[in-house]
Amino acid sequence: MANSDEQVLLGRAKNGDRLALKALVERHQNDVFYLALGLLGQRSEAEDAMQEVMIKAIKALPRFRGDSGFATWLYRITHNTCLDHIRRQRWSQVTESMDENPGMAEHWATPDPADDPGRVTASAELGRELMAAMDTLTPAERSVFVLRQFQELSTRETAEVLSRAEGSVKNLLFRAMRKLREAMAEFDDSTGHREASL
């Protein structure tokens, strides 16, 4: 399809022509899929990302200004969507480990420079994001989180330090973990490209 033909399709799709929109999706969905596959490495994840990208693109199409080519715009959305998938997966793995194993934070909050440089960079970035996310916690939630995850105290020891019941400590830790997950998701959203963040 010539570029001028694509411009015609874009104009029609932006005006609500479903056939033109379908033609655009069909033209680009394979390219989006293979880019997602390269970034994520798993076929099922790439398929999910492709669907998410197409939904985002369809919703954002009325705001597409044409500052870049349509394919470039789609690739930007694909890249940001895949990065979001990676961040969510990484954060989920970290917090699931932390739920069960107090003190896991030390493995990524203070990386060893002798480690693989790529992993050190990712660990340092995640540590910075976590510290910023911790600002969303109340003093009690933050205290419980730090005592359990950084100081490696048991629930009973944490309760003793804070003069609280163990049930209260568990509730505070649960609330802290939930807030941190939400804050990390918001942080990831805020670092994406504005045009592709939908």
**What are the tens digits of pLDDT across the range 122-169?**
556 666 777 778 778 886 787 788 768 866 778 887 787 667 899 999
Assigned CATH for 1-82: 1.10.1740.10
Q: What share of the chain is helix, strand, coil (3-state, %, to 5)?
A: 80, 0, 20
Which single residue is written with the structure tokens 């999910």?
48
Q: What is the pTM of this model?
A: 0.49
Instruction: Spell out the domain ranges in the chain.
Output: 1-82, 101-198
Q: How far apart are CA 132 and CA 3, in angstroms?
A: 45
Segment 52-102, tens digit of pLDDT: 999 999 898 988 887 777 887 888 788 788 878 877 776 666 556 555 555
Residue ranges of alpha helices (H) inside 41-138 are 43-60, 70-100, 106-109, 117-133
**How wide is the angle at C-alpha 125 spanned by C-alphas 120 and 129, nearest 5°?**
150
* Per-residue DSSP letter, 13: H
The type of residue at 25 is: V
- Give residue 107's pLDDT: 46
Mean pLDDT of 163-178: 91
- Give residue 108's pLDDT: 43
> Residue 16 has which token pair?
């609500």
Min mean pLDDT across 21-25, 148-152, 166-170, 190-194 is at: 190-194
Q: Considering only residues 87 and 43, tell me which one the structure prediction assigns the higher pLDDT.
A: 43
Nearest to 74 by CA among 64, 84, 83: 64
Assigned CATH for 101-198: 1.10.10.10
Phi/psi at 2 (5° precision): -70, 155
* Per-residue DSSP letter, 149: I
The type of residue at 3 is: N
